[in-house]
Structure 1
Amino acid sequence: MDFDFSAILLGLTVLFGVVWGLDRALLYRRRKARLDAAGVEYRDPLPVDWARSLFPVVFVVLLLRSFVAEPFRIPSGSMMPTLDVGDFILVNKFAYGLRLPAFNNKFLDIGEPKRGDVVVFRFPGYLCRDADGHFQRIGGAEDGTTPATGADHACPTPLTPVPGQNWIKRVIGLPGDTIEVRDSQVVINGKPVASDELGPYVGNPQRAEDAELLYYGASVWNEHLPGENGKTINHLVARMPARMPTNPIPNQLVPSKVPQGCYLVMGDDRENSTDSRWWGCLPEKNLAGKAFLIWFSWQGLHTGGVAWKRIGTLIH
């Protein structure tokens, strides 16, 4: 089930604030005067007492999660080897501007994503074409799976709503960039992205995510993305070309030039990531923040337990 914790916090903050505020404005004085006259020690009614006690706590948590840092848990292996399944991460919520909680509308512009940033965002939905040939965003195919990636990119009927999910990927293309992707080779503005092979992937075959990488003979590479002012952003990627062909860019739904107000994002597990190759660019309005720290990592009770070495790792 998809739910928006920020929306829940916002709703609770409003509820507790309204209960406490209305009581103080309309009922408190008369109730206190009545109890004082009766010689009874004053106590707030239980609902009011709860609202008064919880309002500041929930309000502070809402402010911290909305404007400072928000915790997330990595649920899939699409960002391996950078981020592992079970990593608990912190996301900088003010890196790309301040946004209203739950609504995600930006009200203060601070900065924009840079190439190489690992970003958390609201999943925008898959691209398809409706009966009139216009692009639509949908949650999936009629059977709930990823839409077809071959010749048939028609929208299913009825359209599937886009789920309210938080996803995480790495920024590869900025607005105005020309991007080409063929299997594991990325070309940015006509220049192939350099990378160095570090060796075979090493993992625990008892974990499903590791077992897949090992089964397909994955290798680990150090990729060198071009950054600002000649800076190079180095990060790890996993490649397993024996797994399956990946969607190229450009394709029938995704052009090579990144539109304004959009970013092209990819997972570091290049053959096992549902990313911009499949659903197009990431709209700026869907950004939630920049991932920067692994604060805890749990690899399963019987498959590693706490990954102590990953705790405190900065995300690059």
Structure 2
Amino acid sequence: MENKRTKTKWLLGIIGVVILAGGILRWVVFQPYLIPTPSMEPGMAPGDHILVNRLSYRFWAPTRGDVVVFAFPKDLKRTFVKRVIAAEGETVELRDNKVFVNGDAIPEPYVKPGDYPPYGPERVPEGKVFVLGDNRRESEDSREWGLLPKNYLLGKAWLVYYPFQRFRFISRAS
């Protein structure tokens, strides 16, 4: 009888540790976010739920193509989701419905087709990134409010987990 109680205590202890670790991982490493607007279509639609790795930019610099969650520069209580188009030291320009970084057109298979106005050229200084939504016609981004300070980055989007039929890992090409 004593042996059964000991096993039960161990099992409950292990379950408690797993639940605690899951909670810590959820709030320290992975944070859920909701896509509220069509600015990231077609890859992410309004109502999509994503998981964001909050530790990414504590160890690595953001790079072109990363989908990031950040505090909105005009209202730090709000969060936005956009794609890094140009990092520190790069020059970005939008013309003829294409994006040029350092003078070269970059491939953007994730962009929703449509016209958008020219921008730049502008050199991205140290400590900042240039971000755009994938749906350029429906996105409030660096073209409107300027370059994003890197310290506003909250994390890198990792996967779409809901709705289940849209489940997928988020890559630089999607």
- The bucket for the TM-score relative to the shorter chain is 0.7 to 0.9
> 1:66 Cα deviation (Å)?
4.1
Q: Distance in 1 between matches of 2:76 and 2:32?
A: 20
Q: Distance in 2 between matches of 1:71 and 1:265?
A: 21
Does residue 76 of structure 1 match 2:25? Answer: no
Deviations 1:96-154 (A, max 9, x none): 11xxxxxxxxxxxx1111110000000012xxxxxxxxxxxxxxxxxxxxxxxxxxxxx
Residue 47 of structure 2 is aligned to residue 86 of structure 1: yes
CA contact (8 A) 1:65 1:93 kept: no
The answer as to whether partners of 1:178 and 1:188 remain within 8 angstroms in 2 is yes
Give the conservation status (yes or no) of the 8 Å contact 1:184–1:270: no
Write the deviation string for residues 266-291 of structure 1: whole angstroms up to 9, x where unpaired: 00001111111111111011000000
Which amino acid is the alignment partner of residue 118 of structure 1?
V
Query: How many residues end up aligned between the 2 structures?
Result: 153
CA RMSD, Structure 1 to Structure 2 (Å): 2.0
Measured in 1, the distance between the counterparts of 2:42 and 2:137 equals: 12
Higher RCO, Cα 8 Å, sep 6+: 2
1:67 aligns with one of 16, 28, 38: 28
1:315 corresponds to 2:170: yes
Counterpart residue type for residue 154 of structure 2 = A
Q: CA deviation at 1:60?
A: 7.1
User: What's the secondary structure of 2:64's corresponding residue?
Assistant: coil
Given the two structures, how large is their TM-score scaled by the length of structure 1? 0.45
Corresponding residue of 1:293: 159
CA distance in 1, matches of 2:80, 2:37: 10
Which of 105, 119, 127 pairs up with 1:261? 127
Give the match for residue 209 of structure 1.
Answer: none
Tell me, in whole angstroms, the C-alpha distance in 1 between the residues paired with 2:90 and 2:70.
Answer: 20
User: Which digits, 9 at most, give the CA deviation of each residue in 1:160-192, with x for residues without a partner?
Assistant: xx3510100000001010111125211110112
CA–CA distance in structure 2, aligned partners of residues 259 and 288 of structure 1:
20
Aligned partner of 1:249 in structure 2 is 119
Aligned match of 1:122: 71
* Greater share of strand: 2
Distance 1:66 1:176 in 2: 33
The question of whether the paired residues in 2 share the 8 Å contact of 1:179 and 1:256 is answered with yes
Q: Helix, strand or coil: the match of 1:236?
A: coil
CA contact (8 A) 1:266 1:276 kept: yes
Distance 2:126 2:64 in 1: 15
Contact 1:67 1:93 in 2 (8 A): yes
Superposition deviation, residue 67 in structure 1:
2.4
Structure 2, unaligned runs of 5 or more: 1-18
Aligned equivalents of 1:314, 1:60: Cα separation in 2? 20
AA aligned to 1:315 is I
Who is 1:181 aligned against? 94
Distance change in 2, residues 1:163/1:96 (3 Å) = closer
Aligned to 2:147: 281
Output the CA distance in 1 between the equivalents of 2:142 and 2:34. Answer: 21
How does 1:191-202 map onto structure 2 within 5 Å?
Answer: 191-194=104-107
User: 1:249: how far off?
Assistant: 2.1
Of 223, 239, 242, which residue of structure 1 is paired with 2:113?
Answer: 239
The 1:64/1:258 distance shift into structure 2, 3 A limit, reads same
Q: Structure 2 length as normaliser, TM-score?
A: 0.80
Alignment of 1:132-211 (within 5 A): 162-182=75-95, 184-194=97-107
Gaps of 5+ in 1: 1-56, 98-109, 126-161, 195-222, 224-234, 298-307
Shift of 1:68: 1.1
Q: State the AA in 2 paired with 1:294.
A: V
- Matched with 1:11 is none
Q: Partner of 1:238: helix, strand, or coil?
A: coil
Q: CA deviation at 1:240?
A: 2.2
